[in-house]
């Protein structure tokens, strides 16, 4: 459950990022993308009910184990490529793929989450705004070049 307090959240988040995230979460349905169940408002708070990712995020998972066995790394990469490929089929660019935004279910299945910076792209249109985490960004993004769907580029940083 994600809870957003409208009184404490920045106005640009409430007007731009939250509506975009909720719109995209309603649109997606894939085994490697976090599933939205319900959105409801009560008072000044927005409650976003989503699929439970009982094993936390990928960064904590790796820190706890200190390394990933090759078979786990391969499995995670396949699942990540599947989820990103699905998003790209819908013309959705995540723009903040990092270990902290990749959750793991109780069955250790990848769940791409946190669509706050994500956006839809129109066919043929490029994006030229930078957002997300520089450590995970593709070289094109860091160089200020226009881009479309570089999520797969970010995977190279997960497998190093």
- Average pLDDT score, the chain: 85
Cα distance between residue 127 and residue 149, in whole Å: 9
pLDDT tens-digit series, residues 97-150: 899 999 999 999 999 999 998 888 876 555 555 555 555 555 565 556 555 554
94, pLDDT greater than 50: yes
Cα distance between residue 95 and residue 93, in whole Å: 6
155, pLDDT greater than 90: no
Q: Does 91 participate in catalysis according to the annotation?
A: no
pLDDT tens-digit series, residues 66-87: 888 999 999 999 999 999 999 9
153, pLDDT greater than 50: yes
Domains of the chain in sequence order: 2-143 (1.10.510.10)
Residues of the chain with pLDDT > 90, as a percent, come to 65
Q: Report the SS3 class of residue 46.
A: strand
**Do residues 139 and 119 lie in contact, with contact meaning Cβ atoms separated by under 8 Å?**
no
The residue annotated as part of the active site, out of 12, 57, 96, 114, is: 96
Q: What's the CA angle centered on 54, arms 52 and 58, to 5 degrees?
A: 110
pTM assigned to the model = 0.80
12, pLDDT greater than 90: yes
Instruction: Dihedral sign for Cα 146, 151, 154, 156, please.
Output: negative
């Amino acid at each position: 459950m994600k809870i957003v307090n409208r009184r404490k959240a920045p106005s640009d988040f409430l007007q731009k990022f939250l509506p975009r995230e909720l719109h995209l979460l309603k649109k997606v349905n894939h085994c490697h993308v976090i599933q939205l169940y319900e959105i409801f408002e009560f008072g000044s708070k927005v409650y976003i009910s989503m699929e439970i990712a009982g094993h936390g995020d990928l960064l904590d998972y790796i820190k706890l184990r200190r390394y990933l066995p090759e078979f786990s790394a391969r499995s995670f990469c396949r699942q990540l490529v599947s989820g990103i490929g699905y998003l790209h089929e819908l013309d959705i660019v995540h723009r903040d793929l990092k270990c902290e935004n990749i959750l793991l279910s109780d069955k250790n299945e990848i769940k791409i989450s946190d669509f706050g910076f994500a956006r839809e792209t129109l066919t043929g249109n490029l994006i030229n705004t930078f957002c997300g985490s520089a450590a995970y960004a593709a070289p094109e993004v860091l160089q200020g070049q226009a881009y479309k769907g570089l999520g797969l580029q970010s995977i190279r940083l997960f497998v190093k």
